[in-house]
Amino acid sequence: MSNKDYYSVLGVKRDATQDQIKRAYRKLAAKYHPDKNKAEDALKRFTEIQEAYEVLCDTDKRASYDQFGHAGVKGAASGGSPEGWNVHFGGGTPGVGRGEYDDLGSVFDSFFGSKGRGFGGFSGSGPGVGSGGGGAAGNRAQVRGRDHRVEIQVSFMTAVRGGVEHVRVPSGESTKTLDVTIPAGIADGARLRVRGEGHTPHGGGGGMGGVGGAAGDLIITVQVGSHPLFSRVPGSNLDLSLTLPLTITEAALGARVAVPTLDEAVMLTVPEQTSSGTKLRLKGKGIKDSKGTRGDLYIKARIVPPPIEVLDDTMLQTLEKIGQVQPTPRHGTGWPSQDQAED
């Protein structure tokens, strides 16, 4: 664990907002990532930046750090539970203060290794865990390391269809590459967890006075890139929207228009007298997630007038005649008449 002030590492003030901390982290992580920066201290700086962000982006960890400094965010405190866990053994139900564990067994895994149970003896193996019975006194508790947090950028189509991303993470004095599966339909800002690929406790593997060390998890925040045509409908992870430019003729008289989807182009019927802003739906042409559920594609019409340079005198006269017979589209409450407006 670095002894540097985490706020100084990220170059932010102590009252910085989460958005400010996040922006500072992204900028520094990109600058010092070992894949891009070949300076001798790049890996060290990158690790410090990741460590600082991991603490300051977590409300509870940040509060503990602000009050107690580095001692408040160490993997474990003498005589207590690691990283703020409040686990009661013996009678009653164990109470967990914070964290993301699947079940009660996972809580015991964090302390005793693989699938330990009870207190009067348990089976399993792992760092600091004896085999067979013998009671709690005959076994050494295993302390779980801190989670390691990173952000990755994936393309829009990778997020839609799923795929594999190569994620570089620090590993001791070097880095290693992990192949991380991106599930189909993943949302922007979603988090993935890779178990056992986080930090090991300080002195893990027999360190910390003989206390064994289990690695924390790798928490990956996924940022999804944009697409030149499609965008996700707000409030829906599977529905897509597409703006469809139409000529005046197509909008006025109706037409059959080829439109793209995620899979192939399809013919869309545009009704006559379609106005800008009209929404049409192609059912089942949105995003398909890993469970097979599929959203819809919503198409928003946008009427594009013809360039004036392509119109000859006859066409211009025709447009003027149309304007003379077409009722004004600006009517209803709040719209003034032409003679009410000042020049």
The whole-number pLDDT of residue 202 equals 62
Write out the chain's pLDDT in tens, 343 residues: 567 889 999 999 988 998 899 989 988 988 888 778 888 888 888 888 888 898 898 888 888 888 778 777 765 333 333 333 333 333 333 333 333 333 333 333 333 333 343 333 333 333 333 334 444 444 445 677 888 999 999 999 999 999 999 998 887 778 889 999 999 999 999 999 999 888 877 644 333 333 456 888 999 999 999 999 999 998 888 999 999 999 999 999 999 999 999 999 999 999 999 999 999 999 999 999 888 899 999 999 999 999 999 999 999 999 999 888 988 888 788 888 877 777 7
Burial letters 149-182, b for 16+ CB under 10 A, else e = bbbeebebebbbebbebebebbeeeeeeeeebeb
DSSP 206: T
pLDDT tens track for 287-339? 998 888 999 999 999 999 999 999 999 999 999 998 889 888 887 888 888 77
Q: For 112, how many CA atoms within 13 A lie in the half-sphere containing its CB?
A: 26
- If one counts every other C-beta atom within 10 angstroms of the C-beta of residue 201, the result is 26
Tell me if residue 215 falls in helix, strand or coil. coil
Structure tokens at 320: 């003027």
Assess if CATH 3.65.10.10 describes domain 239-329: no
- Supply the DSSP string of 111-134, one letter for each residue: HHSTT---SS-----BTTB-SS-S
Domain boundaries, the chain: 6-224, 239-329
Q: Which residues contact 1 (CB under 8 A, 6 or more apart)?
A: 51, 70, 73, 74, 202
Same fold, 6-224 and 239-329: no
The rounded radius of gyration (Å) of the Cα atoms in the chain is: 30
Among 143, 138, 70, 82, which residue's Cα sits nearest to residue 112? Answer: 143
Contact between 161 and 235 (Cβ < 8 Å): no
The CATH code belonging to domain 6-224 is 1.10.287.110
